[in-house]
Amino acid sequence: MDKIRILMLGGTGEARVLAQRLADLQRFDVLLSLAGRTQQPSGQPVPTRSGGFGGAERLAAFLKEGSFNLLIDATHPFAERISRNASEASYAVGIPGLALRRPQWAPEPGDCWTDVETVPEAIERLGVSPRRAFLAIGRLGAHRAEAAPQHFYLVRSVEPVEPPLALPDVRLILDRGPYNVDSETSLLRTHRIDAVVTKNSGGFATYAKIEAARRLGIEVIMIARAQAAALHTVPTIEAMLAAIDHLFPPEMNRGV
């Protein structure tokens, strides 16, 4: 029986775990595609490629040339362009497409959230008077803060922000989650943060800053996700494995 060929668009912790689970089943041939934005990505349990495809048409050509049977989008919830391209490419080639999307965070009692649609809107919501903001949106959007240089910014990212931020009062921390509530609380207290700016990524790895803000009564300016692409979406790794089994039952014989 031939193995089911899967192209997985990854870059998240869930993608790595899912790739390992699929590899352990030994009936899938998985290629994990990484965007290449992180210079030192975590080790992966399956073969990988790095870099973009150049749009939906080229992604479709890659799927067709590689005789892939399934496309899985397990990118970051805010990787909107690649998710849109994945949806268009799977439809064009005529193969199933599935998206793994962790559930969004929801406000709980004690939270003080301000909901916004974009990073520029989040920076604007900080207001005119100087504030001390924890900017936890990743390095690619950090330059948006240059529109409001009156604030102090604590910026955390996995890799340095390039070019360096043109801000008079900024502190960059290089770190990778997961984080815990006590350390996040200490971080916010040490830097006297009065606003946390973050994307609604969902999941557990970076949720501790939300709990810490709740504990300290700090405002969270929460950037909403864009509308999901048209792929069939599942919220967990177990649900993804069940969806794959439904498409390709274990007893299925794909002999040539």
pLDDT, tens only, 200-250:
999 888 999 999 999 999 999 999 987 766 789 999 999 999 999 999 998
CA–CA dist 20, 215 (Å, integer)? 36
pLDDT computed for residue 228 by the predictor: 64
Angstrom distance (rounded) from CA 99 to CA 236? 10
Residue 179, both tokens: 């984080």
Model-level pTM? 0.82
Q: What ranges in 26-100 are assigned the alpha helix state H? A: 56-65, 80-93
Burial 74-93 (b: 16+ CB within 10 A, else e): bbbbbbeebbbbbbbbbeeb
In this structure, is residue 183 part of a structural domain?
Answer: yes
CATH code assigned at 37: 3.40.50.720
65 and 124 belong to one structural domain: no
Q: How many domains does the chain have?
A: 2
Strand-pair category, 70-73 with 4-9: parallel
State how far the Cα of 107 lies from the Cα of 52, in Å rounded to an integer. 35
Tell me, yes or no, whether 118 and 209 share the same domain: yes
131 versus 41: the higher-pLDDT residue is 131
Q: Residue 11 above 90 pLDDT?
A: no
Q: Is the pLDDT of residue 104 over 80?
A: yes
For residues 62 and 87, state if they share a domain.
yes
Both 142 and 212 in a single domain? yes
User: Strands across the sheet with 195-199, in order?
Assistant: 113-116, 219-223, 195-199, 132-136, 152-157, 170-174
In the DSSP assignment, the letter for residue 104 is P
Please check whether residues 43 and 139 belong to one and the same domain: no
- Are residue 117 and residue 210 in the same domain, yes or no? yes
Give the structural domain span for 12: 4-103+227-247
Whether 118 and 219 share a structural domain? yes
b (16+ CB within 10 A) / e for 176-213: ebebeeeebbebbeebebbbbbbbbbbbeebbbbbbbb
Render pLDDT for 155-195 as a digit per residue (tens, 0 to 9). Answer: 998 889 999 999 999 999 998 878 999 999 999 999 999 99
In a domain, 131, yes or no: yes
